[in-house]
Amino acid sequence: MGAEDLDDLTRLHLDARVMATMGGVRSPAETTEWLGRQVDHWRQHGFGLWMARDRATGQFVGRGGLHHVEIDGRNEIEVGYCFRAEFWGRGLATELARASVRIAFTELRLPELVCFTLPTNGASQRVMQKAGFRYERDLVYKDLPHVFYCLNASAWQATAGDRFAC
Ligand SMILES: CC(C)(COP(=O)(O)OP(=O)(O)OC[C@H]1O[C@@H](n2cnc3c(N)ncnc32)[C@H](O)[C@@H]1OP(=O)(O)O)[C@@H](O)C(=O)NCCC(=O)NCCS
- How many angstroms separate the alpha carbon of residue 44 from the centre of ligand 1? 30
pLDDT band with cut points at 50, 70 and 90 for residue 159: confident
Mean pLDDT score, 119-141: 97
pLDDT band with cut points at 50, 70 and 90 for residue 164: low
Rounded CA gap, 36 and 33, in Å? 5
Using the atom order of ligand 1, give the atom closest to the CA of residue 21: 44
Predicted TM-score (pTM) of this structure? 0.96
pLDDT in tens, 46-96: 999 999 999 999 999 999 999 999 999 999 999 999 999 999 999 999 999
- How many angstroms separate the alpha carbon of residue 61 from the centre of ligand 1? 14
User: So what's the pLDDT on residue 131?
Assistant: 97
Pocket of ligand 1 (CB under 6 A): 18, 21-22, 81-83, 88-94, 117, 121-124, 126-127
- How many angstroms separate the alpha carbon of residue 93 from the centre of ligand 1? 7
